[in-house]
């Protein structure tokens, strides 16, 4: 599980387009998720379920933002090089900043809590050192990669901003609202981390309680036979 995490983190650092950067960040996120699942205990599965909710929201928000940003940058598209600033870049810069810190795992958004749960679940395992080093090292590489991308996209300007088409805000309103809603979901996932943690812990307990499942199935069969159904 640590291999895709390491590959994804290095890929984020080496990416030359925003799409590649987001794709590699999702690979790294899946590596983190696999680490938690690989522990195969109640704490690990609960951490995996919480991190799954987070990574789904973060990945979807970032993919939406890739398209929104690329379209508005003109010929530069999603390449990580200097380009003219585009209209309302501060809006997309803010959304990108929030989605990035969530994906990297910085506080206070759900990515930080998810990785904290994964690290805590692996604390008593034989491979705790490798897991902690890979997760923390990967987070650092992703932080550098996202920081570089954000500075290039929103701070480095090559020329005067182009004129915006009259219908452009209307055509981009729905995907912008969708990306905002996904980021708001991560905020809510952080605010209600307590109830969500209780829910995923209960789910993990049920997933590992095979005896209850067998008894429920066999009990239904016995009841059906007894009633002649």
pLDDT in tens, the chain (229 residues): 999 999 999 999 999 999 999 999 999 999 999 999 999 999 999 999 999 999 999 999 999 999 999 888 888 888 988 887 777 778 899 999 999 999 999 999 999 999 999 999 999 999 999 999 999 999 999 999 999 999 988 887 665 555 555 445 566 788 899 999 999 999 999 999 999 999 999 999 988 888 877 887 787 666 666 666 5
Strand-pair partners of 79: 17
pLDDT at residue 156 in the model: 72
Give the integer Cα–Cα distance in Å for 72 and 201: 43
Q: Is 110 left (phi over 0), alpha (psi -120 to 50) or beta?
A: alpha
pLDDT at residue 154 in the model: 85
Cα separation values, 223 from 144, 162, 212, 213, Å: 61, 73, 16, 15
Q: Please check whether residue 72 is in contact with residue 86, taking contact to mean a CB–CB distance below 8 angstroms.
A: yes
Give the integer Cα–Cα distance in Å for 139 and 120: 16
The rounded Cα 174 to chain-centroid distance in angstroms is 21
């Amino acid at each position: 599980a640590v291999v895709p995490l390491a590959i994804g983190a290095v890929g984020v650092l080496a990416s030359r387009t925003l799409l590649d950067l987001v794709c590699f960040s999702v690979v790294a996120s899946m590596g983190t998720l696999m680490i938690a699942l690989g522990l195969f205990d109640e704490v690990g599965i609960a951490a995996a379920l919480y991190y799954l909710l987070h990574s789904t929201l973060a990945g979807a928000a970032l993919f939406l933002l890739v398209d929104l940003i690329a379209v508005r940058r003109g010929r530069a598209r999603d390449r990580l090089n200097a380009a003219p600033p585009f209209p309302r870049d501060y809006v997309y810069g803010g959304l990108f900043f929030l989605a990035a810190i969530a994906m990297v795992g910085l506080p206070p958004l759900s990515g930080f809590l998810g990785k904290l749960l994964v690290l805590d679940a692996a604390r008593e395992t034989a491979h705790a050192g490798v897991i902690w080093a890979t997760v923390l090292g990967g987070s650092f590489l992703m932080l550098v990669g996202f920081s570089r991308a954000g500075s290039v996209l929103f701070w480095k300007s090559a020329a005067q901003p182009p004129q915006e088409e009259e219908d452009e805000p209307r055509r981009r309103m729905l995907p912008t609202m969708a990306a905002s809603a996904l980021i708001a979901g991560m905020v809510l996932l952080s605010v209600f981390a307590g109830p969500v943690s209780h829910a995923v812990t209960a789910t993990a307990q049920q997933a590992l309680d095979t005896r209850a499942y067998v008894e429920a199935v066999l009990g239904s069969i016995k009841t059906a036979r007894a009633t002649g159904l």
